[in-house]
Structure 1
Amino acid sequence: MGSRDHLFKVLVVGDAAVGKTSLVQRYSQDSFSKHYKSTVGGQERFTSMTRLYYRDASACVIMFDVTNATTFSNSQRWKQDLDSKLTLPNGEPVPCLLLANKCDLSPWAVSRDQIDRFSKENGFTGWTETSVKENKNINEAMSVLIEKMMRNSREDILSLSTKGDYINLQTKSSSWSCC
């Protein structure tokens, strides 16, 4: 068994300037990220990605900027595009986290209730707020996603329903509070 036997591909998609590249750069510095390949995609306007881009992905992160309502509404199109082109071997959607980035900024253009409802209605694994700039919830959010990927790889044929709930990372991290 080679070192790539446990390499998972995680897609990071969303509109431009929501923090995708910064997320991948920040996360790639983490010691356990060596087993995960992240691919970034997205543009100013929504553009569907090709099936080739999605191929072999084990999970996805869709990011939006909490201060920009357009990036939030475009998240639905990113999720629909993903779901139409990629499923797990058992036919289930790949785990997909919704990250409400730039939580250190205000005012927010959307409420937590709107995000919660949106996440549930669109079949996300869950959502949480992050600040790539402040390094808040980045490793914790990715750990949740990795845990879900690992469960899916072990329980390949079981249907693991997604709930879209808010992921409270405060219980997993230190005592800081975002927003």
Structure 2
Amino acid sequence: MIRRSSFPLSQFDYTVKIILLGDHSVGKTSFLSQLATDNNNDAIPCRCLHFRQNCQVELEVTHHGKRILVKIADTGGQERFRSITASYYRGAQGCLVMFDAERAETFSHVYDWNNDLEMYTNRQFLSKFLVGVNFDSSRKQVTSEQASRLASQLEMQFHDLDPRSRKSTVGVVIKLLDLVMVTVQRLPSLTIDIRPGQVTELDASQKQNGRRWGLRTNSVASDIPLNVLSGHPPHKMKCSC
């Protein structure tokens, strides 16, 4: 099933990219498939605009009065061969590192996935959750306490997930979006281009360090909630495409 958006990017206030990491068959595909189903009873409006199985889902989320285009990318089976390329990580503002509580080896591999994440992204600008599935199973080999301790060690939050439940899957996405906004709030020197599809940059004093932040937005600085910016005007940049 493929659904394509009928809205141009200019009608969204933000564009956020979230990536999924984890061993094969930990629930990533079920997670995306659940998000691709529409439900008018969602506590926070979340509508599927585009879905490619084992690849990506695009969601329209209305949150805090803003329209957000959320792109969630799956590894597409590449995780089985440890062949995920750097391009998969590029531009991500959020990440869900997933494991299966019934398979202890998927939990131990979380260290490896987190190492890859830190290798290919800037941890200062990335929001990440440790997400476990099958915690309601009598066959689980990992406890919530163990998962919480590991999440604390890796400086992320832990959430258990039922990938078969839309309420559970949408809830995790919304919580991660909230954390993305909090992360942006801690960067008072961040400036955001108002044109769609542009990549934001840090101010001139930090550009010398070659660091980039990938939050995309189509709103002017004064419209950004939570005091994300602190009086810095939007910085225009030329498109590199």
Partner of 1:113: 145
Out of 105, 126, 139, the residue aligned to residue 170 of structure 2 is: 139
Partner of 1:64: 99
User: Which is strand-richer, 1 or 2?
Assistant: 2
TM-score by length of 2: 0.58
Number of equivalences: 154
The CA deviation at 1:135 is 4.1
Equivalent residues of 2:93, 2:125 under 8 A apart: no
TM-score by length of 1: 0.76
Partner of 1:85: 120
Equivalent residues of 2:78, 2:84 under 8 A apart: no
Q: How does 1:138-177 map to 2 (within 5 A)?
A: 138-157=169-188
Output the amino acid matched with 1:116: S
For the residue of structure 2 that corresponds to 1:141, the secondary structure is helix
Instruction: Determine if the alignment matches structure 1 residue 17 to structure 2 residue 51.
Output: no
The CA deviation at 1:121 is 0.9
Partner of 2:126: 94
Equivalent residues of 1:102, 1:130 under 8 A apart: yes
User: Which is helix-richer, 1 or 2?
Assistant: 1
Partner of 2:109: 74
Unmatched 5+ residue regions in structure 2?
A: 1-8, 39-44, 47-58, 61-68, 190-241
- Output the CA distance in 1 between the equivalents of 2:149 and 2:83: 24
Q: 1:136 to 1:154 in 2, by over 3 A?
A: same
Q: Deviations over 1:29-67 (max 9, x none)?
A: 354332100101255647163211100111000111110
Unmatched 5+ residue regions in structure 1?
A: 159-179
- Output the CA distance in 1 between the equivalents of 2:73 and 2:10: 22
Q: 1:48 to 1:10 in 2, by over 3 A?
A: same
The CA deviation at 1:93 is 4.9
- Output the CA distance in 1 between the equivalents of 2:82 and 2:145: 27
Out of 153, 157, 161, the residue aligned to residue 130 of structure 1 is: 161
- Output the CA distance in 2 between the equivalents of 1:18 and 1:146: 22
RMSD: 2.3
Partner of 1:164: none
